[in-house]
Amino acid sequence: MENASHVTVFTLSGLNFTFEQRIVLFLLTSLWYLMILGGNITLVFVIVIDKNLHEPMYIFLCNLCINALYGTVGFYPKFLLDLLSSHVISYGGCMLQGFVIHSSTCGDFSILALMAYDRYVAICRPLAYHSVMTKQRVSIFVFFTWLIPLYCMFMNTATILHIELCGSNINRLYCVNWMITRLACSPPLANTAVTYMNLLFYFGHFVFILWSYMFLIRQCISSKENHGKFMQTCLPHLISLVTFTIAVLLDLLYMRFGSPAVSQNLSNFMATEFLLIPPFVNPLIYGFKLTKLRNKMWNFVYKKGNL
């Protein structure tokens, strides 16, 4: 029986590919990651440099893209390296990777909840919008959408540091706190408590978003003008929310209740779907759907192309 002081590396055992498959997967993953970087960085850059886009909706969108960059950097560089070398990760590196990926996931929910509140105020209380969504209040909202996920996942990660482990093999493409607790010689009760508190807290986010959309939909049904605003600004948010929620739920449900009979490739896809699809899709959805942002992006690309 080995404990945490003797476990210096973890083995990630989800990479059961031939050499040729690894090369192909490396090229495809590199291309996909470059597209994620390109889409999110372009959108962030356009919002930052254009003062006309310094409105709450675009500021929150900018943070959603920054959070996508933060989360994907915790997965893609290490995964690409694993495709070309041995797939092991140090104990400290595993803790850090799990923290980054988990906190980014929680951050997405926080920002999406904040965006839902912004749309609720803009459509259901338009006359009070500028008094509610002031620059100072928006700054406070953004600060806490970053602080709270980082704090929640810091507490979660802290509860598994130096726990006694009876193994070092993680059947995953990346480190996950839940998988580490399954290697524990005895269940870490503190981690279980913190995990369920975090799940309950972010389930509250989901309920809040549903509550916001209940009022938004009711308001849009009674007004053609509000219906247009909903289709223009709420539909991209709704697509992002549904895509992200389904991806995370698939991963959580499989990780907790999945059958070992499921193929490794399907397991890998379900485990990485929230790192593959939402970070790529979100810039496309908002870039094409939000007219003001789309025009700014086209102007930016057009000017660069004429230099």
**Is 148 among the domain residues?**
yes
**Is-contact 1 77, C-beta < 8 A?**
no
Give the pLDDT of residue 294.
Answer: 67
pTM, two decimal places: 0.88
Q: Rounded mean pLDDT of the chain?
A: 85
**Is 172 among the domain residues?**
yes
Please name every residue paired with 89 in a beta bridge, in sequence order, or none if there are none: 10
CA dist., res. 92 & res. 68, Å (int)? 23
Q: Which of 243, 228, 234, 233 is nearest to 212 (CA)?
A: 234
Domain that holds residue 107: 9-305
Number of independent structural domains in the chain: 1
**Is 206 among the domain residues?**
yes
Give the pLDDT of residue 3.
Answer: 44
Which residues in 193-205 are b (16+ Cβ under 10 Å) and which e?
ebbeebeeebeeb
**Is 223 among the domain residues?**
yes
Give the pLDDT of residue 4.
Answer: 44
CATH number, domain of 219, equals 1.20.1070.10
Give the pLDDT of residue 27.
Answer: 95
**Is 97 among the domain residues?**
yes
**Is 3 among the domain residues?**
no
Give the pLDDT of residue 46.
Answer: 87
DSSP 202-267: HHHHHHHHHHHHHHHHHHHHT-HHHHHHIIIIIHHHHHHHHHHHHHHHHHHHHHHH--TTS-HHHH
**Is 1 among the domain residues?**
no
Query: What are the tokens at 145?
Result: 């959408």
3-class DSSP assignment, residue 11: strand
Tens of pLDDT along the chain (307 residues)?
Answer: 344 446 778 888 777 778 888 899 999 999 999 999 998 998 898 889 888 888 898 899 999 999 999 999 999 999 999 888 878 888 889 999 999 999 999 999 999 999 999 989 988 888 899 999 999 999 999 999 999 999 999 999 999 887 888 888 888 889 888 888 888 888 788 888 998 999 899 999 989 998 988 888 888 777 776 677 777 778 888 888 888 888 888 887 777 666 666 777 777 888 888 999 999 988 888 876 666 676 766 666 555 555 4
**Is 2 among the domain residues?**
no
